[in-house]
Structure 1
Amino acid sequence: MNIHEYQAQKILKTFGIKVPYSILASNLEETVYAAKKVFKKTKNYICVIKAQIHAGGRGKGGGIKIAKSIDDVYKKSSNILGRRLVTNQTNKKGKLVNKVIISEYVLNSDKEYYVSIFYDRNIYKNIILYSKEGGLEIEDISKKIYFQKIDPYIGLQEFQIRKIAFHLKMKYSAFNNFIKKLYNAYIYSDASLFEINPFLITNDNEILAIDAKVRLDDNAFFRNLSYKEMSDEREYSIIELEAKKAGLNFLKLDGNVACMVNGAGLAMATMDMIKIYGANPANFLDLGGKADSKRIKKGLDLILKDKKVKLILINIFGGIVRCDIVAEGIIKFFEKKNKINLPIIIRLEGTNVNIAKKILNNSKLHYYYVTSLEEAANKIKVLLKNELRCFI
C-alpha cells in the first residue's frame, strides 16, 4: 500500500530520522494558516508547497512550488489543490490533489543524495540503492547509482555502511546513524519500499530526509494496526476501490485484454505472455485461493466496467480451487447477461479439470478453450488482429 509523503514523514520521525518541519493542509485557508506557522517556526519568509498524491515526478509535473509570502502561498496553492496533477508516473488524466503540505524551505546544498531500500525477490535479499546525485534527475543518472545487497537474516553490517559512505563521499560518523535508523524503519514498519530523494547534510552535520516515498506491506497490518488507517481511498479508482472492498487484488492498466487469474505469480506470467505476443493487459486481477462463484462474479463485473476491454482471458490453476466450481461460476455469470460482444478465452488446469470441461461443453457459452499460456497468447493475437467478436 502506497502512503503519502506526510505519512512517510511520521514514520521516519518515529525512528529518529530528521525531516523538514511541515504542516498538512486540505484547503486554501489551511495553507495560509500553515504557512504562517512555518514562517514563525523557521523565522524565514519562504516555504515549499508540495502536492500529496500517490505518484512520483511531482516536481517536474508542477506539484511542488516555492512560495515567498502569504499571498504567494495562496496563489500557488490554488493552482495545485483541487486540480489534477499529471506526472510521468500517472495516466493522462493525472491524479486529483486533495491535500498539500506546507514545508520549511531547506537551503540548497552543494550535495543532494539518494537512497532507497527494497526487497529483491529474485535473490531473497534486501537492496540498498544509493547515489551521490539525488534530486529531480535521479532517473537520468543510472550509471552513477550503486547498490548493496543485505542478507535479511544478518542485517546491515558495519563494513557495508562504510562502503556506502565511501561511495557517497560522506563522513562515516554522519551517515552511520542515519542509515541504521532508515534500515530499522524499513524493517519494523514492514515496508516493501523506502525511498529518500533527496537527503542532505545540515550545518550541524546531521542528515535531513527532504522527501520520502514509502510503500507498506498491507499483509502485515496486524503488526501495525495504525498503518491501515493511512489508506487513502481517494487515491484509488472506483473499480480498484470496489475490488479492494471485495477482497480482490485488482489494478487497472491501459490495455484491452482483461485477465482473471488466481495467484499473483500466475497473473504476472499471464500479463508477461500477453505483452510478449504484442497485446496489452487491461488489468491485474488475482482472485486468490478462494475462487468461488461469488468472487468470479465480482471479478467479471469489474472487468466489464472497463469500456476499453476487447477480450477476456480466464486463466485458473486448480490447486486448492476446484476447476468445476470455477466453470459453474463462469457459466452462471454469463447466463444472466443478455449480450456481450467480447471473445472469451478460458484455460483451466488442475483439480476436476475434466469435469469442468464437460460443464463448459454442455453450456451455451461461446468461448475458446486453450491448454497453455502460449496457446492463449496466440489466440489473443489472432482475435485482436481480426477484430473477431463472440455473442453470448
Structure 2
Amino acid sequence: MKLHEYQAKGVFADAGIPVPDSTLASTVDGAVEAAEEIGYPVAIKAQVQVGGRGKAGGIELVDDATEAREAAESILGMDLKGLYVDRVLVEAAVDFTNELYVGVTMDRAEGKPVAMVSTRGGVNIEEVAAEDPDAIVREHIDPAFGLHPYQARKAVFDAGIDRDVAIDAASILTQLYELWEEKDATEIEVNPLMVTGDGEVIAADAVMNIDDDALFRQPDLAGMEEEAAEDDLEAKANEYGFDYVRLSGNTGIIGNGAGLVMTTLDLVDYYGGSPANFLDIGGGAKAERVTNALDMVFSDENVDSVVFNIFGGITRGDEVAKGINEALEQFEEIPKPVVVRLAGTNAEEGMEILNTDLVTVEKTLEEAVQRAVSYAEGGDQ
C-alpha cells in the first residue's frame, strides 16, 4: 500500500520528523483558505502517487491569494500522468539552501534493509543511481540490531553532508529506519530533505509504502487504505482483495498466480502489445472471484481486449469457466473481446463449459496472447 504524501507526512510528524505546516484541500476555495491560514508563500501540491509532479505542472509555488486560486484551479481536476487530481496539499514553502536525500528500503540481493543518503536530493533517486551510483552512500543494517547511531552518522558524513546539519540528518535517517521497521514498510524516503538558511532540516516530501501482507498488524495504517487508493479501480481491487497494478497499455491481463501473470505481461510485450494491468486472482479462485476480476478489467476504459490465462492446480478449470460465463452473460453486448487459455486441473471440463459465443478460446498461451494483442489493435474478432 502506497501512502499519499499527506498521509506519510502525518506519520512522519507523529514520529518527530520535522515537516512543513500543511492542510489538505479538495476545493479551490478550501485551498485558498488554507493558504491564507498558513501564510504565504505556500506550495500547492497535487496528491497523486507519481514522480515528477513538479515538471508535470502538479506543484506550484504561490505568493498571494490570486496566485493560490489560479494554481488550485489549474491543479484540481487535472490529469497528471494518467491520474485524476482531486486533492491538493497546501504547504508552507521552505526557504532552502540545499536539498538532500535520505531513505530506507530492502536490498534483496543482500537480504538486508539498507539506509541510503545522498547530497543530490530533489531529483529522481533512480536517475541518480543510474547516472552516478557513487553519489548515493549505502549502509546495510542488521535487522537483529537495527540501525546503530554510528552507522547513521557514518552514512551522512560519507555522503559529504555539511557538518552543521549532519547530526540532524543522521537523526532523521534513524527515525526513518525505526518507522520502516515498526510500520512494516517496504520503502520509506524523504526527497528532498531541505536544509534551510538557519541550518534546520525539513522533510519537504515523503514516501512511505507498506507491506500489504502486514496490514493486519497496522490497524491505523490499514484505515488509510481506501484513501491511499489512487483511483476507483484500485479501490475496487482493495474491496475484492486482488493483487492489482494498473499499467498504461490496452491489453487487459487476468491470471492465477503472480508468475503466470508476469509471464503473460512479458508475452504481450513480446508480441507487440502493451499490458493494461497486472491482475492475479490467486489460487483456488471460485466463479464469483472470476466474475469480479472481469468486472475490474472491463471497468478500465483503456482496455481494448482481455486475455485470461489460467493454469489449474488448486484452481479448477470448470470453476473458472463458470465465472467467465456468469460475468459475460450479464451483458447484452460484450464490452471487450475476451481470449481464454485454460490448462491443468479440469481444463477439458472447463473448455466444454465455456460459452464460445462470448469468448475466443486458444489452446496455448502464445496463441492466446497473440490473439488478444490483435484484438487490442483492432483486428477481426
* TM-score range for the pair, normalised by the shorter chain length: 0.7 to 0.9
The match for 2:221 among 203, 222, 227 is 227
Give CA-to-partner distance per residue, 1:356-392, whole Å, 9 cap, x none: 3134136552533334x45544555666679231xxx
Is the deviation greater in 336-345 or in 293-302?
Answer: 336-345
Q: 1:338 & 1:215 partners in 2: Cα distance?
A: 41
Worse overlay, 282-291 or 357-366: 357-366
1:361 counterpart residue number: 352
Q: How many residues align?
A: 372
Q: What TM-score comes out, normalization by structure 2 length?
A: 0.83
- Residue type at the aligned position of 1:320: I
Q: Is the 8 A contact 1:53 1:235 kept in 2?
A: no
Matches within 5 A, 1:294-373: 294-306=288-300, 308-334=302-328, 337=331, 340=334, 344-350=338-344, 353=345, 355-361=346-352, 363-365=354-356, 367-371=360-364, 373=365
Tell me: CA distance 1:254–1:79, structure 2 relative to 1, closer, same or farther (3 Å): closer
Matched, 1:143 2:131: yes
SS in 1 for 2:96: coil
Identity over aligned pairs, percent: 34
1:1-392 paired onto structure 2 within 5 Å? 1-39=1-39, 45-80=40-75, 82-86=76-80, 90-91=81-82, 94-101=83-90, 103-109=91-97, 111-121=98-108, 124-136=111-123, 140-141=127-128, 142-144=130-132, 145-146=135-136, 148=138, 149-157=140-148, 160-170=151-161, 171=163, 172-202=166-196, 205-233=199-227, 236-306=230-300, 308-334=302-328, 337=331, 340=334, 344-350=338-344, 353=345, 355-361=346-352, 363-365=354-356, 367-371=360-364, 373-374=365-366, 376-378=368-370, 380=372, 387-389=379-381
CA deviation map 1:219-274 (0-9, x unaligned): 32222212223235595433443333222333333323221112233322321232
Task: Structure 1: give runs of 5+ residues left out of the alignment.
Answer: 40-44
TM-score, normalised relative to structure 1: 0.81
Take 1:234 and 1:385, find their aligned partners in 2: how far apart are those partners? 33
What is the DSSP-based 3-state SS (H/G/I as helix, E as strand, rest coil) of the residue aligned with 1:57?
Answer: coil
* CA deviation vs aligned residue, 1:117-159 (integer Å, no higher than 9, x gap): 2234565333434421111465654423425244544533456
The Cα shift of 1:162 comes to 4.4
Q: For residue 237 of structure 2, what is the amino acid of its counterpart?
A: A
Please tell me whether the aligned partners of residues 117 and 156 of structure 2 are also in contact (alpha carbons under 8 angstroms). Answer: no
Aligned residue identity for 1:295: R
Distance 1:383 1:188, change over 3 A: same
Q: State how far apart, in whole Å, the 1-side matches of 2:234 and 2:298 are.
A: 13
CA distance in 1 between counterparts of 2:375 and 2:14 reads 54
